[in-house]
Chains A and B, each alone.
Chain A
């Protein structure tokens, strides 16, 4: 009696309508600025998926958003809103950098697992404190994770200015990682198979790691006992207690995994692209993760699709600025905000009328 809509409407129709609304309003914004939204759309699409070169950038961004999106999604399953992806990814960068700089790596295959572990561990550690405070002391995780974002940033600046700065350098950044820690780019990897790919896009092996993370999260949530406990807790805490599931354990583990995933973003940006630790390597990807998880309905497939969409927007947005100077790349931030607003906060605005429609249809055709 409580479910008025078929499942497809819930998982596909509503998100699509939300997305459509977000794009519609974005189009109006472009129109207001005095440009043709359709023209802008064509530029975005051409600029992001029109060539191998642009794909190389789009998928690079996608990689970031998959990690941060999965991070938010895993926490969502336990009904935790982890808004701290930004800080966890910042710390992940630190972990990745320490791994890269620790020894003079002979080969990337040896370095890779250590880099991944370093990034994930540091990200998870940064999520651990807010998680513990939520589980044991009831401190609201949203507020503590926001605070930890700022603390993370201050910590990183301190370390880059005072501790880890490359000798002789003026900029607050570490020295370039040793060549043995260089992760193969798409150009290099495809060359092994004799396939040509442009050299400059930063797309690298981390993309495969992101895909693996999707599979990992899918298996974790829907195939393991832990995932079962996480989902049960997320749906109903009293029922979880009835089933003998420990709320403390679920909160801690789901947040550690969430933080670890956010941290792993650094494998792509710090180890894969910059090859040194910069002051702002996260660039808001932690927040994009919120939009991605909301749009993807916290399912890895949805997250992947939403991450690709945002990858397209980020890469296309850069092109947009180039082609239409009136529309700067902040347009993307606006679109992102509207997606979060319509899919996340104003969901009921679409859901209520659609539900009514389905009830009326059902009554019409019993």
Chain B
């Protein structure tokens, strides 16, 4: 426990954690580029950034999950190699993962001692843990019933067990990865109280989040990550959420879309009071109502994880909700029979999912098979009730691939052999060429190169101009601003504001995305 001894001297000048020039690539993707960071002992340091900015990768390197390609880690001033989790634990680092690393049918005590037992028999370890837990419960407001089984605890309590696990292993440095993503507001504020008291006891805490309010509320210093780089490190009291939001989103390559003013017609999508509750009983989508008209694009802005995915999946017929959905004035079900994806398509809804590899494509299907995916009942693609007309599908595929400039334009290739951008074009080609009444599209340009972005944007506008209603969900603010006619911002499962695109700007939307409304 070298970390333990050294941090026992709080006035030690050496920072608790120092990262120097950390780089990490996964194949062609550079997840971390030359990152340097220094966190003083006994502070709470926040790291903010959008999804995919490289925060989790950096922390995984610190916790020994990945090995950095280059760079050095110093713990309390001492260069430390962290080849695996064991070494990280040994160096006094504890991690609270986004998805808890708990054994669901074990008791709290069993989870706490797992991997840190004192001897071959469990009895003494459990007794020791029990007394320590009692002590910690008093010290840090971390009370949990030691004999409760994890799966019967609420998420907030489960998270406390994760923190207790780290403390039991005598961690001095605690990393929390998106800790409030699954918490209710009161659970979150309790967590922050725990974190502050831990800091006051001399622990160093790294808080990874994309929620700016949390950064402002609890951290001492904050770093911003964007596209694998550390773009700024500032003292929290010297900054403002607006500034952080701008640093997070950044000024991206200016995208130009040729776009006339919208000419909205009748209401196509009329959704009222949509609410989605996940299997843990947490409301992910809260009472959302919105309308999209023929010939307009409604953009849904927001930091990822604020209910956009759920909204998309309800509209696409993948998950069920309460509330009501009308399409062209006709009521469609949002749960039970008739709410499946096939029924949605028959109502003229085309759905481009956020995750094309998981949902939008069958990665082991050929491109041409994917071109009929979801529309395999279409009479154009079938000889009769039994047999599919593979020639017709191949023919349509060749045409669509040409129109959407899919490269290579080989219908016989398997989907996983295409690049991300071209996979996306296959999905878009399939959904756009159906002439949908309503298009719901999520993250249309995620992982797509610049050239293709412009192309895809133009196609979305063309679709609007041909009379479709478009609901666009994106975490890229630029994309929302350049495509939408109206913008709604989602925060914490709700729509907290709606603006006409031409009458708003990035700053205003950035504030809304951070959950700050003018009223509050």
Contact = CB atoms under 8 A, between A and B. Distances in A.
Interface string A223-261: 111101101100110111111111000000000000000
Interface in B323-381: 340-345, 351, 353, 358-365, 369, 372-374, 376-377
B362 A235 contact: yes
Contact of A239 (B316, B351, B360): B360
| Most central of A1, A229, A239 by chain B CB within 10 Å | A239
Contacts of A224: 386-388
Interface residues of A, number: 23
A238 B342 CA distance: 14
Contacts of B345: 244
A246 B340 contact: yes
Contacts of B390: 223
A235 B387 contact: no
| Most central of A223, A224, A242 by chain B CB within 10 Å | A242
B358 A239 contact: yes
A1 B364 CA distance: 13
B377 A225 contact: yes
A20 to B, nearest CB: 26
A242 B388 contact: no
A3 B386 contact: no
A236 B373 CA distance: 12
A236 B415 CA distance: 13
| Most central of A224, A244, A246 by chain B CB within 10 Å | A244
Contacts of A1: 27, 416-417
B15 interface: no
B414 A232 contact: no
A106 B474 CA distance: 72
B382 A243 contact: no
A169 interface: no
A238 B360 CA distance: 9
Chain A interface mostly helix, strand, loop or mixed?
helix
B317 interface: yes
Contacts of A226: 386
Contacts of B363: 2, 235-236
| Most central of B317, B360, B385, B387 by chain A CB within 10 Å | B387
B386 A242 contact: no
A236 B357 CA distance: 10
A243 B371 CA distance: 11
Contact of A225 (B318, B364, B376, B417): B376
Nearest to B344: A244
A225 B382 contact: yes
A235 B369 CA distance: 13
Nearest to A229: B376
Contacts of B359: 238-239, 242
B388 A225 contact: yes
Nearest to A226: B386
Interface in A129-146: none
B343 A244 contact: yes
B388 A232 contact: no
Interface in A324-362: none
B387 A223 contact: yes
B318 to A, nearest CB: 6
A241 B339 CA distance: 11
Nearest to A246: B340
Nearest to A220: B386
Contact of B374 (A3, A219, A231, A244): A244
Contacts of A2: 363, 416-417
Contacts of A235: 362-365
A285 B300 CA distance: 58
Nearest to A243: B374
Contacts of A242: 316, 318, 341, 351, 353, 359-360, 374
Contacts of A236: 358, 362-364
Contacts of B365: 231-232, 235
Interface in B415-472: 416-417
A55 B368 CA distance: 42
A219 B386 CA distance: 10
Contacts of A225: 376-377, 382, 385-388
B462 to A, nearest CB: 24
A240 B364 CA distance: 13
A240 B342 CA distance: 10
| Most central of A2, A3, A219, A224 by chain B CB within 10 Å | A224
Contacts of B388: 223-225, 228
6 contacts: A2-B363, A2-B417, A236-B358, A240-B362, A244-B344, A244-B345
Given A2-B416, A226-B386, 14 more contacts: A1-B416, A225-B376, A225-B386, A228-B372, A229-B376, A238-B358, A239-B358, A241-B340, A241-B341, A243-B341, A243-B374, A244-B341, A244-B345, A244-B374
The 5 closest A-B pairs by CB, nearest first: A244-B342, A244-B341, A243-B374, A242-B359, A235-B364
